[in-house]
Amino acid sequence: MLTGVVCLAAGLMITISAVNARGIDLRPARNTDLISLVRSESRRNADLADQAATLRSEVDQLAANGSRTEQDSELNARSLAAGLRPVTGPSLTVTLDDAPADVVANGIDQDLLVVHQQDIQSIVNLLWAGGAEAMTIQGQRVISTTGIKCVGNTVVLHGVPYAPPYRISAIGNQAQLRRTLDNSEFVRIYQQYVDRFRLGYQVDTKAHDRFPAYRGSLDLKYAQVPSTSPSPHR
């Protein structure tokens, strides 16, 4: 009798679930298309960046049409240093890429076969140290608040995810930039992985290049300590 009661209860639960589901998944969150979501948010971020760039250009034009002051030259110089103006000049580009799919890595940690955010950041730091005057990653202008984040198998820059290969370009003295790379301990070690696992590492130069101005938001978001009222004395 107990077995019959249990079977009856189980059948009743299954029937109720089927009626409530009506042929659909009761847990639709499992089917969330993360790739489409990322692409949609990337397009949205790009659209917002275009709007911000347009508004900034309008503000600059209105300021230029108004009365000029002795502070205009200083403002332009600081805007250029902050990455808010396009720049031109000779450039050097470092391209980093994951190991090809046909690399057989028996017993090798897969993390050793891909480019990580710290690899990109190391190249960025070397180029700054080598005298870079301006820089871009994947064509986006790098400024003082630029953060490089690794999310899954992609790198997110200014809210936009990118897949390899990763191109880091710098405008400056090409010979000095190349010397800084060649003399660095990081590049020497990275070259060992290039030789062993066929990671991508390539350096190219261009006699005349143009970097766009930074188009994103300049607002800083940071954590704050919540204000608490002092507790009354007892």
Q: How far apart are CA 145 and CA 233, in angstroms?
A: 44
* Burial track 76-94 (b if 16+ CB lie within 10 A, e otherwise): eeeeeeebbbebebbbbbb
* Residue numbers of the domain that contains 52: 34-64
Tokens describing residue 35: 């790739």
205 and 91 assigned to the same domain: yes
Instruction: Mark whether 99 and 177 lie in a shared domain.
Output: yes
Least confident interval from 63-72, 136-145, 167-176, 192-201:
63-72
Please say if the pLDDT value at position 22 is more than 70. no
Residues 52 and 95 in one domain: no
User: Are residues 104 and 156 both part of a single domain?
Assistant: yes
> Does 226 have pLDDT greater than 70?
yes
Q: pLDDT digit string (tens) for 126-176?
A: 999 999 999 999 988 988 878 888 877 788 887 788 888 999 999 999 999
Q: What is the pLDDT of residue 77?
A: 63
pLDDT at residue 158 in the model: 79
Indicate whether 98 and 60 sit together in one domain: no
Q: Report which of residues 209 and 111 the model is more confident about.
A: 209
Q: What is the pLDDT of residue 130?
A: 94
41 in the same domain as 154: no
Domain assignment present for 222: no
Domain annotation covers residue 21: no
Shared domain for 59 and 95, answered yes or no, is: no
In this structure, are 101 and 176 located in the same domain?
yes
Same domain, 93 and 48: no
Q: Say how many domains are in the chain.
A: 2
Instruction: Give yes or no for residue 180 having a pLDDT over 70.
Output: yes
Q: Are residues 46 and 159 in the same domain?
A: no
pLDDT at 96 over 60: yes
Rounded Cα distance, 131 and 134, in Å: 9
208 in the same domain as 118: yes
Same domain, 58 and 152: no
Lateral strand order in the sheet of 140-141: 140-141, 134-137, 166-171, 87-97, 200-211
pLDDT band at 234 (very low <50, low <70, confident <90, very high): very low
For the domain that residue 191 is a member of, what is the CATH number? Answer: 3.30.70.1880
